[in-house]
Amino acid sequence: MNEFELIARLRPRLPGNASVVVGAGDDCAVLASPGPGRQLLLKTDCVVEGVHFLPDTDPAKIGRKALARALSDVAANAGTPTAAVITLGLPDGFDPVRIEALYDGMADLARRHDVALVGGETTRSPGAFFVSVSLLGWVEEGKAVLRSGATVGDALFVTGELGGSILGHHLDFEPRLAEARWLAEHFDVHAMMDLSDGLAGDLPHLLAESGVPGAEIHRESLPIRRAALLRAREGDTATPAVAAALGDGEDFELLLCVAPRDAVPLLDGFKARFPDTRITCIGRLTANPGVFLREPRGLTPVTRGGYRHFAG
């Protein structure tokens, strides 16, 4: 099957929305402006066979994950996604039926969030199979929540649970789009990001962007995913559950900071609005340099830094 035959099979699977003036099929897609008083968000993300999924992974879940990763980043800015273009890198001898299934999984998630899939690129890959997603979104002018607004003393929150994502969560996670927009609308969220490389790896990025020296994480408050707890109890991993929650990565939850006075109202309001999504205050930002785990015996430095793509 050549490139154009594959594109002809995939085009009917691409959902649109009201922003699409011209969709897939021309040199460029044409989208309506998000309107006055709104700013554009642009994100690109990529999943690669052997890094983010295995050769025998359900192709619908590969497609879903490829889009969900980018959606999670738009959520971290409290934005609304609009449209995406997809680049496929395909090895020789690819199965077009698997590629159709990949697009079906991606399209199902896109429709749930009213995201149009408006084209992209297909190319031969001499190495691994990969899927790259470039996602466009918008946010009200001046309302994007960044990583750079946190201050010493802020309460530190995380949605959902952490650790053990390799047992399925990394393929099935829900981007926290509605939760992020609600948080930004109802509270002064100082800083926010999504957790893709693990709490221990991502929190220092937020601290660096905000110019905050350090943070304390309360060990007893960490919301550890059941999969991480079970693996630790069964001896299936050399990594204890707490270390898994700090460093496994691919949680795709929101990490956010608010003033201490907002902590209790945020907890109460969030639980009432999103009863099926957990949110936890896990610590605070400090003037003491470094990230520490507060345990009954005192403070322990967090030395495991999460997932690093180019670690030797």
| Claim to verify: residue 60 and residue 86 sit in the same structural domain | yes
Give residue 62's domain range: 3-140
Does a structural domain hold residue 166? yes
Among 116, 140, 164, the domain boundary falls at 140
Sheet holding 298-301, edge to edge: 191-194, 254-258, 155-159, 279-286, 214-218, 290-295, 298-301
* Band (1; pLDDT cuts 50, 70, 90): confident
Does a structural domain hold residue 130? yes
Does a structural domain hold residue 307? no
Does a structural domain hold residue 244? yes
Does a structural domain hold residue 104? yes
What are 229-256's pLDDT values in tens digits? Answer: 876 655 555 558 899 999 999 999 999 9
Largest Cα span, the chain: 64
What's the average model confidence in pLDDT over 37-62?
A: 96
> CATH number, domain at 38?
3.30.1330.10
- Are the CB atoms for 116 and 17 separated by under 8 Å? yes
Instruction: Identify the residue whose tokens are 């399209």.
Output: 107
Distance CA(135)–CA(43), nearest Å, equals 5
Q: Which residues contact 220 (CB under 8 A, 6 or more apart)?
A: none
Q: Taken in order 210, 214, 220, 223, is the CA torsion positive or negative?
A: positive
Among 70, 105, 140, the domain boundary falls at 140
The confidence score (pLDDT) of residue 235 equals 55
| Claim to verify: residue 179 and residue 283 sit in the same structural domain | yes
Report the number of distinct structural domains present in the chain. Answer: 2
- Are the CB atoms for 160 and 241 separated by under 8 Å? no
What is the SS3 assignment for the chain?
A: CCHHHHHHHHHHHCCCCCCEEECECECCCEECCCCCCEEEEEEEEEEEECCCECCCCCHHHHHHHHHHHHHHHHHHCCCEEEEEEEEEEECCCCCHHHHHHHHHHHHHHHHHCCCEEEEEEEEECCCCCEEEEEEEEEEECCCCCCCCCCCCCCEEEEECCECCHHHCHHHHCCCCHHHHHHHHHHCCCCEEEECCCCHHHHHHHHHHHHCCCEEEEEHHHCCECHHHHHHHHCCCCCCCHHHHHHHCCCCCCEEEEECHHHHHHHHHHHHHHCCCCCEEEEEEEECCCEEEEEECCEEEECCCCCCCCCCC
Distance CA(70)–CA(65), nearest Å, equals 9
pLDDT of 215 higher than 80? yes
| Claim to verify: residue 288 and residue 250 sit in the same structural domain | yes
What are 59-118's pLDDT values in tens digits? Answer: 999 999 999 999 999 999 999 999 999 999 999 999 999 999 999 999 999 999 999 999
Q: Which residues contact 266 (CB under 8 A, 6 or more apart)?
A: 157, 183, 187, 258, 279
Does a structural domain hold residue 253? yes
| Claim to verify: residue 248 and residue 224 sit in the same structural domain | yes
What's the average model confidence in pLDDT over 249-274?
A: 98
Among 82, 109, 140, the domain boundary falls at 140
Closest CA to 252 of 53, 75, 63, 40: 75
> CATH number, domain at 274?
3.90.650.10
Average predicted confidence (pLDDT) for the chain: 93
Does a structural domain hold residue 311? no
pLDDT of 310 higher than 50? no
| Claim to verify: residue 163 and residue 295 sit in the same structural domain | yes
The confidence score (pLDDT) of residue 257 equals 98
| Claim to verify: residue 114 and residue 172 sit in the same structural domain | no
What's the average model confidence in pLDDT over 155-179?
A: 96
| Claim to verify: residue 206 and residue 230 sit in the same structural domain | yes
| Claim to verify: residue 207 and residue 134 sit in the same structural domain | no
* Band (305; pLDDT cuts 50, 70, 90): low
pTM of the model: 0.93
The confidence score (pLDDT) of residue 312 equals 45
What's the average model confidence in pLDDT over 160-180?
A: 96
Calculate what percentage of the chain has a pLDDT beyond 90.
84
| Claim to verify: residue 186 and residue 96 sit in the same structural domain | no
- Are the CB atoms for 151 and 210 separated by under 8 Å? yes
| Claim to verify: residue 57 and residue 180 sit in the same structural domain | no
Region of 142 please: left (phi>0), alpha (psi -120 to 50) or beta.
left
| Claim to verify: residue 84 and residue 134 sit in the same structural domain | yes
| Claim to verify: residue 133 and residue 220 sit in the same structural domain | no
Does a structural domain hold residue 202? yes
Question: Which range, of 174-188, 198-212, 248-262, 289-303, averages the lowest pLDDT?
Answer: 289-303
